[in-house]
Amino acid sequence: MDNQFSAFPFQPVMTNVIDRLNFHEPTAIQKQVIPAVLKGTSVIGQSHTGSGKTHAYLLPLLNRIDANKREVQCVITAPTRELATQIHEKVRHMIDYAGMNGTWHAKLLVGGTDKQKMIEKLKTPPHIIVGTPGRVLDLVKEEAVSIYAASAFVIDEADLMLELGFIHDVDQLLVRSKRDIQILAFSATIPQQLEHFYRKYLKNPLHVKIDDKLSPETLEHRLIPLKHRKASDIIVDISKIIQPYLAIIFANGKETADALALTLQQKGLDVGIIHGGLAPRERKRTLKEIQNLRYQYIVATDLASRGIDIKGVSHVINAQLPKEEDFYVHRAGRTARAGLEGTVISLYGEHDTPLIEKLQQKGLTFTFWDVKNGEWKETKSWNARNQRRKTTSNADSEAWKKVKKTKKVKPGYKKKMKKQQEKNKKQMIQKPNKKRK
């Protein structure tokens, strides 16, 4: 198979990295971002989870590491410790694949670790820093490390940085960087505040927006009506039918997630939990247990849809649908990755219909199901009843128009008129059917 990455002007050392990563054809975002990063152009990248954007910036950044200069050449920031750790792992693997262990150096700077030990390790500056903005800024302020020599600065999940309140720390880091530093900012959405931030720091950036298919063909979206039932009861019923490799159950908010996880555990499901309210050590332990396949089900908030990369997710269950379309897309993006199959099962009530309508208008196809007696039962669309009512009322009104009104009222006239209306209605329904034949 031809390796299309050979079209990029990478250093020979990167060929091993690309081969070991088993990359052959660049993704849509990689095709546009890699050449721009290699040229030194600043980039604003917009794409959904699983688009390959991490390697879109890592490959060209590692390509230009100068081993002879022991100074920070590249700073990569992420909004959560977990995401920063996962990016650092990818960097370490790539250094290993390049055969540059002991020559290229990368350091992970996140909270929850021994700060004094970190300061000791930074006495010899690394080439690459990966970390959370708060901890990196803390160490820069203490003069444990300088980022002024860095030629590139990455802001990963920039909209989540803004949402979690870390964009100010990013701002403070950029103030301490070179004025002409190359900035690579990636996010799924660009809120107005982020636009102001970009205008402040990015001069003539390349704006790459990847309008991926809203849903890959290997992903199925199922809707189940709540019908005054408890979400936990339905999820237990679902668990008796599906055999997930790993299922993420999403809830809106930490308290709801805690309560749902406890109920499911009491009902006999082996459930882990991930959300921003957990202590860092607890989150780290849970993620390790997930990697060791300790759990089949994880209850999570939207932190797991953006800030943590959990591999092997075969099912996503929305115990509660989110309020916005983007969050649904992020959640769904946790499964059906790299061409694998996946299923999103969402429990919904009447208050969720505006979101469902918006997603359908964007081209998402839902199938409608319920769980009864340990089996999937296909049901009618959530708005089928409304559509039927509308059709019936239109037919009724048209049929009434054709009923001849009598000037003189005779006994039983209402009965006769009703009979005439029914006759007219039947004829109206039959005529289109004859035309179809």
pLDDT score of 423 more than 80: no
3-state helix, strand, coil in the chain (%, to 5): 45, 15, 40
More confident residue, 217 or 372: 372
Q: List, for residues 118-153, the tens digit of each pLDDT value.
A: 999 999 999 999 999 999 999 999 999 999 999 999
pLDDT score, position 424 = 65
Please, which pLDDT band fits residue 1 given cuts at 50, 70 and 90? very low
Can you name the residues that pair with 285 across neighbouring β-strands?
none
Instruction: Answer with the residue of higher pLDDT: 231 or 47.
Output: 231
- Residue 146, pLDDT score: 97
pTM here is 0.73
Region 219-378: CATH code: 3.40.50.300
Does residue 233 surpass a pLDDT of 80? yes
Tallying the residues shown for the chain, one arrives at 437
State the CATH architecture for 4-209: 3-Layer(aba) Sandwich (3.40)
Domain layout of the chain by residue ranges: 4-209, 219-378
Mean pLDDT on 269-283: 86
Max avg pLDDT among 93-107, 275-289, 423-437: 93-107
Contacts of 80 (CB under 8 A, 6+ apart): 132, 160, 164, 303, 307, 308
pLDDT at 427: 63
Instruction: Tell me the β-bridge partners of 348.
Output: 225
351-394 pLDDT, tens digit each: 999 999 999 988 889 999 999 888 999 998 766 545 444 444 55
Question: Tens of pLDDT along 185-204?
Answer: 998 778 888 999 999 999 89
Identical fold, 4-209 and 219-378 = yes
Angstrom distance (rounded) from CA 249 to CA 293: 16
> Which residues share a beta bridge with 368?
223
